[in-house]
Structure 1
Amino acid sequence: MRAEWRRLLPIPRSLLGRMLLLTLLAVLVAQALSSAIWLSQLRATQLEGLVTTARSLAHSMSASVRYFRSLPVAYRPLVLDQLRSMGGTRFVVSLNDRPLQMKLLPATPRRQAVTEAVSEVLQESLGGGADISVNFVSPDDLLIFNGGLKLDELPRSWAHYALTLEPVKPPVLVTQMQLAPGEWLYIASLLPEPYTTLEEPLLPAQQWWFMLFSSAFLLLFIGLLVHWQSRPLKRLARAARSMSLGAEVEPVAEGGGREVVEVGRAFNAMRERISRYLTERAQLFSAISHDLRTPITRLRLRVELLEDEAVQAKFGRDLDELELLVKGALQCVKDTDIHENIEPVDLNQLLHCLVEPYLAPTGTGQVTVHGQAQAAYPGKPLALRRCIGNLIDNALKYGHNARLYVEDDAHGYVLHVDDDGPGVPEQRLEQVFEPHFRLAGQQQGYGLGLGIARNIAHSHGGEVSLQNLREGGLRVTLQLPRTPD
């Protein structure tokens, strides 16, 4: 599950990238919540203003209705004609013998709030028994008279100025009420700005720009802060990598926040302890080497003086075994504690020098190389040479052939060494790295090659692993990271 999330949402590996990603997510969530709250309050405020405007419009309608009611029936058409000749009024008014049937717009919360407010005011002003219908109609479906005339079919001076806002086509509020049997008063009007379209308000452009600039400035300042605080950590990482390779490391400058200062201080103390330990260990093994060689040599001289050849042979075998153990232990310490300066190593040239003795004049032989390194690798040249050389020698010793496959990218250098040998039992894939362990007892050597190779890889922050090939043989993989974790 976690791997799937990492594929869907790539997470940066650097501290700066992760902090910026978390900050961006936090800003987006905070901006989304604040915008949602602000927008809901804006809509509530606008809905309240819309209802107030609708009630005010309804009071104007009720005044017009009372005015037409006060006119004699015969004068009502004449007054309407005079109003149309003068260019119309705020409302488009007509008298019909029946209510006009039109295609109504679907109800929305805002339209329903307006129609309910207008109906309530008209019922209160004109009497509760009035037959009133209030609806919204699209300008394209709007009818004005009994004859079914549409808005576009009328003279522009009659209704267009009151009911159109080109190029926008806002919904028209149509109110029809019965004044007398066979006489219906028709009133059409638009809502005033800013409620003309009755649309739900979206976030204005100013709010979007505010969110964009505030997020950008916050990310910039967070990025500068994290970069400033992470510089001591980068120095600490470089020093730790150099120390893992055995180089002389100067004390790390303590800087940054209090926690980072504590980490630097602890690292400096650890560096002093490790340096002191390595010095004491080198002195100890030098003393062991000197102290053991002398008695072994003296014992060999005394064995030569023995008259019993059988006893002499037994003592000789014991001394040979003791000398083998001493040499093996000293070689293990010598090969894994190589004091070299770290420098760019041309791994392609290194491989070429190691496999050249095994190549036939025709260009083919016991060792083949596929692929190449893309760039130099910062490490210890002699140690890497011993590490890769041990892997090749081990493949040739047990598998007779070695096929080298190189994979290299920005993250690390990988070398696969395949052989045609019998492989290693699964339960012993880790045991073969132990000192003096050999699967074949008759093989020559100290049984230290793989262990030394793994220790050198560990000192470079890498790893050596084993895998039995399905078609037979063993694959030894050397991984060297190019970027420290």
Structure 2
Amino acid sequence: MPRSLLGRMLLLTLLVVLLAQGLSSLIWVSQLRATQLEGLVTTARSLAHSMSASVSYFRSLPLAYRPMVLEQLRSMGGTRFVVSLNNRPLDMQVLPPTVRKTAVIQAVDSVLRESLGAPVDLSVQFVSPQDLRIFNSGLALDELPRSWAHYSLTLEPVNPPVLVTQIRLGEGEWLYIASLLPEPYTSLEEEGLPAQQWWFILLTSSFLLLFIGLLVHWQSRPLKRLARAARELSLGAEPEEPEVEGGGSEVIEVSRAFTAMRERISRYLTERSQLFSAISHDLRTPITRLRLRVELLEDEALEAKFGRDLDELELLVKGALQCVKDTDIHENIEPVDLNHVLDCLIEPFLSPGGDGRVTLHGGAWKPYPGKPLALKRCMGNLIDNALKYGDRAHLHVEDDPKAFILHVDDEGPGVPALRLEKVFEPHFRLSGNQQGYGLGLGIARNIAHSHGGEVSLRNLPERGLRVTLYLPR
């Protein structure tokens, strides 16, 4: 299935059109064939009446005159029928029966038996021109003079089937009548869908798909603008101008709701920034004041207890403020050269004075639109985390038109499977003796989320942890 709305609408429309046109064409062809079969039967009955008249005429002739009349007919170039007198019925290879052949044979047989009156011995069958035999000697059509029968029984290069009727006139005398059906039933083939109908289906489907495509494209443009605005909202960018409403009433309603939501989120982010600035100012002053008062205590044991409590409180405050500060980076969105960012991050480890604990494989094929400082901090946290807990960091870059992917592998003990998501929580540490605030992975994931991406973890089969940064383009 196509992923775009336009592709799905066109595919669905094409399927519906083909189904509707197929059903209508099937009904039309069925009616056409029924009408043609009815006309064919009528024509066959008319032909049978002509045969009946010929049989009656030959019956009325004296026996000695019958060969003379046949010879005269041949010298005149033949008639509609090829007629001969044989002393026995000729045995020929009969064509396989079809609906039309069977209908013609039944119609001719019934008319002849009805017209000739008394019980009559006759046979009606279809024979191909190549297998046709005419006289007692079994002469083929090509062996006869062309003026006798060839022009009456062939329509080269079509060579349609020949209707052969053999009627017993008397003892040892059989009247042989061969003819072609008149147009348009000469070939007796059931015609498929005419070329005009195929062109009609093709043109109507093309025009319908064209108009549906234009309609969906016109209706989806506001949705694309809405998606671009949502992308900019996730990156924290301020819109340059209000979104232009367009499309159907439902799309307009969604656009208005999104604009109202964006304004509320913008106000919320502004208020949150102001709130944390106030918290930073309000908490630092009393903590400093308490620390000064603790230093004036004479009881050293009590002073140590108060000092530990104040250190823990200050650690929590600094950690929370740093998490907000590192995540909520106010930058403009611009093309970022991720290769340059990675080179800057690993350059200290590759310089002559470095320890070579970082390796890099691959690179980005084009700039990524995002926040430069935030992306640098995100990837820097991942590299620092690998070096801190895994001793080494092996970077692998995968880039294509859909996404930029950075794998950071370390050589540490890894993370228990049940705690792979827990390590993203603030202040969480796998062991109590680890340094820092426990915010690096959480900040990196928040920055990735703000770019519409993700940070995920998985343990490597041999040893170590793989941290994957996924940034969609």
Could you tell me which of 336, 345, 348 is aligned with 1:345? 336
1:295 paired to 2:286: yes
Q: Which amino acid aligns with 1:190?
A: L
Using a 3 Å threshold, how does the CA distance of structure 1 residues 363 and 149 change in structure 2: closer, same or farther? farther
Counterpart for residue 182 of structure 2: 192
C-alpha distance in 1, partners of 2:362/2:106?
A: 79
In 1, the alpha carbon distance for the partners of 2:399 and 2:102 equals 68
How far does the alpha carbon of each residue in 1:107-162 deviate from its partner, in whole angstroms, 9 at most, with x for none? 11111011011101111111251111111111111111110100111111111111
Secondary structure class of the residue paired with 2:9: helix
Matching of residue 160 in structure 1 with residue 142 in structure 2: no
Deviation at 1:444, TM superposition (A): 1.2
Superposition CA RMSD, Å: 1.3
Distance 1:176 1:372 in 2: 90
SS at match of 2:242: coil
SS in 2 for 1:184: strand
Q: Deviations over 1:255-308 (max 9, x none)?
A: 110100110110011011101111111111010000000000101111110111
Report the counterpart of residue 150 of structure 1 in structure 2. 140
Q: Match for residue 373 of structure 1?
A: 364
Correspondent of 2:77 among 83, 87, 104 = 87
SS in 1 for 2:385: helix
120-129 vs 447-456, greater mean Cα deviation: 120-129
Question: Do the aligned residues in 1 keep the contact of 2:415 with 2:465 (CA within 8 Å)?
Answer: yes
1:400-415 aligned at under 5 Å gives the runs: 400-415=391-406
Q: How far 1:361 sits from its partner (Å)? A: 3.9
Residues 36-435 of structure 1 mapped to structure 2, 5 A cutoff? 36-127=26-117, 129-249=119-239, 250-361=241-352, 365-435=356-426
Question: 2 CA distance for matches of 1:440 and 1:371?
Answer: 34
* Whole-angstrom distance in 2 between the partners of 1:370 and 1:125: 97
Distance apart, 1:363 and its partner CA: 10
Aligned equivalents of 1:251, 1:396: Cα separation in 2: 46
Q: Which deviations, in whole Å up to 9, do the C-alpha atoms of 1:334-393 show, x marking residues without a partner?
A: 111111111111111111111111115499921112222122111111111111111111
Runs of 4+ in 1 over 6 A off after TM superposition: none
CA–CA distance in structure 1, aligned partners of residues 354 and 25 of structure 2: 71
Q: Tell me the distance in 2 between the aligned counterparts of 1:285 and 1:345.
A: 29
1:274 alignment partner AA = I
- Tell me the CA shift for residue 409 of structure 1: 1.4
How far off its partner does 1:440 sit? 2.4
Of 193-202 and 286-295, more deviation after overlay is shown by 193-202
> How many aligned positions are there?
472
Amino acid at match of 1:441: G
- With structure 2 as the length reference, what TM-score do the two structures score? 0.98
**1:5 paired residue number:** none
Displacement of 1:251 in angstroms is 3.1
Note the residue ranges of structure 1 that are not aligned, 5 or more in a row: 1-10
* Letter of the structure 1 residue corresponding to residue 462 of structure 2: E
Which 10-residue stretch deviates more, 214-223 or 126-135? 126-135
Structure 2 residues not aligned, in runs of 5+? none
Hey, what's the Cα distance between the residues in 2 that align with 1:325 and 1:406?
35
Counterpart secondary structure, 1:26:
helix
Counterpart amino acid of 1:276?
Answer: R
Residue 460 (structure 2) aligned to one of 457, 462, 469: 469
Contact 2:348/2:354, CA 8 A, preserved across alignment: no
Task: Report the equivalent of 1:29.
Answer: 19
Give me the TM-score of the superposition, normalised by structure 1.
0.95
Closer/same/farther in 2, CA of residues 51 and 283 from structure 1, 3 Å limit: same
| Secondary structure of the structure 1 residue equivalent to 2:297 | coil
